[in-house]
Chain A
């Protein structure tokens, strides 16, 4: 199993090291980043970034689609996969 390098690198920039005093401001910033990530997931805004991340990991031999191409492909997919809405 491969170690998750991306995740580990990223985490260091947000989380304080053990023993280091976590200031109120820092903790607030972590919370804010978390909320923002959830929001971006909720609206679907983060979908392209996640595609790129996944593509780099699974197919490192070729470039991912550009944002424009990818969003168009997604719109084509959504054309046939509509979520039902309720009353």
Chain B
């Protein structure tokens, strides 16, 4: 091999040759870390920094009455670029120190199945598709009640120092350990007991996450025949796609997906007609009915073979995911709507917010979980992605930049929500019970419609919009003659509903309907005008529902296998995947776990989003705490005590946030916040009541707050226990200076691929050389790109 290379020495300059890492056969496997500042790159980074500073200035300091949402995009992109180029690289050079002469698990094992060296661009897409879902779309919308600025700051800065760091470090540590899962790594690093508790906590928290996601979906579809029809149609469409791929044309994924996608679009368009026909009445489903549909769907999707439903539905949702994000970004850039929400609203400082209760600290940081910091990502970063990565130096691009993209989605969702009239925003996101108490009993009794109650209620909220005026729903649309007209108050709320093709938009909590109205508000201006508003609304509802359904079925299935594995320790037969009774039993347990929480949330008299969403946020951020803690332990055990602050900063912040939030949820005497205060109040109230209906409501509150409060306590205690175990390990490590690692032993790499999304000139030369001298098992035979699934 060496002779071959020497016959073509002209390829590299001597300077370049010095940078190349070659293995013992002389095959190039990587490039040494190097950086060269040229006038051009200095100028480029100066411009990016200046633009970023200008963006922050416009959003945070200048503000004014007309802040354009384009500044969200500019500020986010510039800050991400700086974070990626400087902070992520710093972490790469200090903690991770990737060694491209070391083979990754994908190269070592390369079994053509799960361990498969995958082209970095493809893996980026896979990783992003796996981490991004409805979370980054819903959280920012709910947090918009505090104004646009707190959410923006947390999403952009949080991802740079917390979320992306967590994803990248977990991905790196898992890759160095053969793609082991979070739970397995916890057992290895902090012992069997701590690891087992961590695994159980994560599993239980996943159930809450699923319940809340499913609730968002149910709230979006309840009383909406058009939505039920179009989302319901995804199931037969997916099954047909599955049958087609199984029996007619195996492997024709793109063709089948495009046909499925086109049918889906047809279904969304045809939905209005179906909803208005006599069939529409039967699709007018109550939330409880939808919960049962969801439970049955989750059960079937988890026990049926994946080719029937799960895989083809995943193709559809990936298509929608990529399509919608591109469309939304284009919409915001072209339309550039103006922010209508105040920068910081009064709800940031009091607990009276109608969307969720609690002050900015700590509740903003648990409401916006995905998009800034999300513990659930650790399950993907320690799942399939580390088994597919080609080179160690690609971890930054996959882990860090993948999360930046998710954060960008969250920023766009926030931009769409805050460009709506705040009057409409609060009318949609205030639960019916809260709205009644805001409007007062006399208005509720005399009002002719819910729209009238809502207009009165948002006027009484006591907050102002971007122009400093009190809230009044405002909506630009067209009158019957097709002339542009600005509707105000009650009229505006009715006009929104008729424009998007819904019976009503009042109290459509959960964030998804609000985002959909926001998207349709932006997108109808570039495509189709008024006639397309309904389409864009239901297009947005559809893609959020698809995200949620794909999380519900995949996570149910994953949890079922985990449960089966755990039970297998006691009764071996549970490990046998072909034992149907075991599969059904474990699936039943998993579905019952999230299904009962979902039912509780949907029937909650105080509005499920308001009571259950904080629990979801806390659960997600506690998983993040466990993941960051593991990163800290592994950093210390690697001997990098000096750089322990990198995972420690987000860990400490996240711990303070989650523990304060849990503490307030448990001990607060403010009935809007504390679960047990609500419980006490309801218990007192129930003795004074005589109306059986009112008693039933209070009984439900007593039961629900007790369950939620108990869960909060259990999480807090278990996570605190894991933290103590981890601290013991770290102290031991520091004392004994024992840096025995659980990393896999070094194995020489025989493979080369560039480390960044866009290959540099030198990287391209190395790719060329590798194609001539490299291992044919790792060289793509049919394209310049290496590999997929």
Q: Are A80 and B551 in contact (CB under 8 A)?
A: no
| A7: Cβ under 8 A from any B Cβ | yes
Q: Answer whether residue B728 sits at the interface, using C-beta atoms and an 8 A cutoff.
A: no
A28 CB-CB contact with B under 8 Å: no
- Nearest chain-B residue to A39 (Cβ)? B254
Q: Which of A7, A41, A68, A87 contacts B781 (CB 8 A)?
A: A7
A26 within 8 A of B: no
Q: Cα distance A78–B369 when bound, in Å? A: 30
B621 to chain A, nearest CB (A): 12
The answer for the CA separation of A84 and B378 in the assembled complex, in Å, is: 10
Q: Does residue B444 face the partner (Cβ distance < 8 Å to A)?
A: no
Q: Which B residues are in CB contact (< 8 Å) with A81? A: 113-114
**Contact indicator A44/B789 (Cβ below 8 Å):** yes
Give the distance to chain B from A18, nearest Cβ to Cβ, in Å.
Answer: 11
Interface size counted on chain A using CB atoms at 8 A: 51
Interface string of A58-87 (1 = CB under 8 A from B): 100000000110111001111111111111
Interface centre among A2, A7, A8, A53 (most CB of B within 10 A): A7
Nearest chain B residue, comparing its CB with the CB of A40: B788
Are the CB atoms of A85 and B550 closer together than 8 Å?
A: yes
Q: B377 on the interface (CB 8 Å rule)?
A: yes
Chain A nearest CB, measured from B377 CB (Å):
6
The B185-227 residues at the A interface (CB cut-off 8 A) are: 209, 213
Contact (Cβ within 8 A) A75 B311: yes
Checking B119, B307, B771 against A75 with a beta-carbon cut-off of 8 angstroms, the contacting residue is B307
Q: Tell me whether B250 and A43 are in contact (CB under 8 A).
A: no
A4 beta carbon closer than 8 Å to chain B: yes
B376 is contacted by which of A1, A4, A87 (Cβ under 8 Å)? A87
Does B586 have its Cβ within 8 Å of any Cβ on chain A? no
CB distance from A62 to the nearest CB of B (A): 16
Interfacial chain B residues near A2, Cβ < 8 Å = 776
Least CB distance from B325 to A in Å reads 15
Please state if A68 and B250 are interface contacts (CB–CB under 8 Å): yes
**Is A33's beta carbon under 8 Å from chain B?**
yes
B133 at the interface (CB under 8 A from A): yes
CB distance from A44 to the nearest CB of B (A): 4
- Does B783 belong to the interface (CB within 8 Å)? yes
**Alpha-carbon gap, A42 to B113, bound state (A):** 14
Q: Is B380 an interface residue (CB 8 A)?
A: yes
Contact check, B130 vs A84: say whether CB atoms are below 8 A apart: yes
* CA distance in complex: A65, B92 (Å): 43
| In the complex, per-residue mask of B766-789: 1 if CB is within 8 Å of any chain A CB, else 0 | 000001111111011111110111
Contact A85 B133 (CB under 8 A): yes
Task: Give the distance in Å from the alpha carbon of A3 to the alpha carbon of B770 in the complex.
Answer: 11
- By beta carbon, the residue of chain B nearest A49 is B782
Q: Least Cβ distance of B660 to chain A in Å?
A: 22
Interface segment, B120-128, B261-269, B479-487? B120-128
Asked whether B789 lies within 8 Å of A47 as measured between CB atoms, the reply is: yes
Binds A, one of B35-43, B555-563, B635-643: B555-563
Interface residues on B, range: 35 or more
**Docked pose: A87 CA to B716 CA in angstroms:** 22
**B374 interface contact, C-beta 8 A:** yes
Question: Closest CB-CB distance, A56 to chain B, in whole Å?
Answer: 9
A24 within 8 A of B: no
Question: In whole angstroms, how far apart are the Cα atoms of A16 and B22 in the complex?
Answer: 28
Say whether, besides A41-B787, A45-B252, A80-B561, A86 and B379 are in contact (CB < 8 Å). yes
Nearest-Cβ distance from residue B65 to partner chain A, whole angstroms: 35
Point out the residues of chain A lying under 8 angstroms from B133, CB to CB.
85-87
Are A54 and B121 in contact, CB atoms less than 8 angstroms apart? Answer: no
Q: Is B246 positioned at the interface, with any CB of A under 8 Å from its CB? A: yes
Q: Which residues of B contact A78 (CB under 8 A)?
A: 306-307, 311
Q: Does B722 contact A (CB under 8 A)?
A: no
Residues of B within 8 A of A6 (CB): 776, 781-782
* In-complex Cβ contact of B776 among A7, A11, A37, A46 (8 A): A7
CB < 8 Å: which of B125, B310, B383, B785 contacts A84? B383
- Cβ contacts B670-700/A at 8 Å (1 or 0 each): 0000000000000000000000000000000
Q: Is the CB of B554 within 8 A of A75?
A: no
Q: Complex Cα distance A40/B370, Å?
A: 29
Q: How far is the CA of A41 from the CA of B785 in the complex (A)?
A: 9
Residues of A within 8 A of B209 (CB): 87
Q: Given A50-B787, A71-B245, verify A83-B130 contact (CB < 8 Å).
A: yes
Contact A7 B779 (CB under 8 A): yes
Q: When the two chains form the complex, which single residue of A34, A38, A54 contacts B112, counting CB atoms closer than 8 Å?
A: A54
Q: How far is the CA of A40 from the CA of B787 in the complex (A)?
A: 9
User: Are B306 and A84 in touch, CB under 8 angstroms?
Assistant: no
Pick the contact of B253: A43, A53, A72, A86 (CB < 8 A): A43
Q: How far is the CA of A8 from the CA of B311 in the complex (A)?
A: 35
Q: Is the CB of A34 within 8 A of B251?
A: no
CB neighbours of A80 from chain B (8 A): 561, 577
Which A residues lie within 8 Å of B780 (CB)?
Answer: 7, 37, 50
Closest to A76 in B: B305
Q: Is the beta-carbon distance between A86 and B561 smaller than 8 angstroms? A: no
Selected contact of B369 from candidates A38, A53, A87, CB within 8 Å: A87
CB distance from B346 to the nearest CB of A (A): 29
Which residues in B have their C-beta under 8 angstroms from that of A79?
Answer: 305-306, 577
Decide: B776 and A82 in contact? CB cutoff 8 A. Answer: no
- The reply to whether A86 and B782 contact each other, CB–CB distance below 8 Å, is no
A87 contacts which of B112, B113, B307, B370 (Cβ < 8 Å)?
B370
Q: Counting CB contacts under 8 A, is B25 at the interface?
A: yes
CB nearest neighbor in B for A77: B113
- A54 touching B130, Cβ below 8 Å: no
CA distance A46 to B251 in the complex (A): 8
Which residues on A sit within 8 Å (CB–CB) of B771? 4, 7-8, 11
Residues of B within 8 A of A39 (CB): 254
A57 part of interface (Cβ distance < 8 Å) = yes
A42 touches B788 (CB 8 A): yes
Complex formed: what's the CA distance from A39 to B119 in Å? 11
Known contacts being A40-B788, A41-B119, A53-B781, is A84 close to B250, with CB within 8 Å? Answer: no
Would you call B781 and A4 a contact (CB within 8 A)?
yes
Minimum-distance CB pairs A-B, first 5: A41-B788, A87-B135, A37-B783, A6-B781, A44-B789
9 contacts between A and B (CB under 8 A): A6-B782, A41-B787, A67-B250, A75-B307, A79-B305, A82-B558, A86-B130, A86-B131, A87-B620
Known contacts A75-B246, A83-B130, A87-B369; can you find 5 more A-B pairs with CB under 8 A? A34-B783, A37-B783, A72-B250, A81-B113, A86-B374
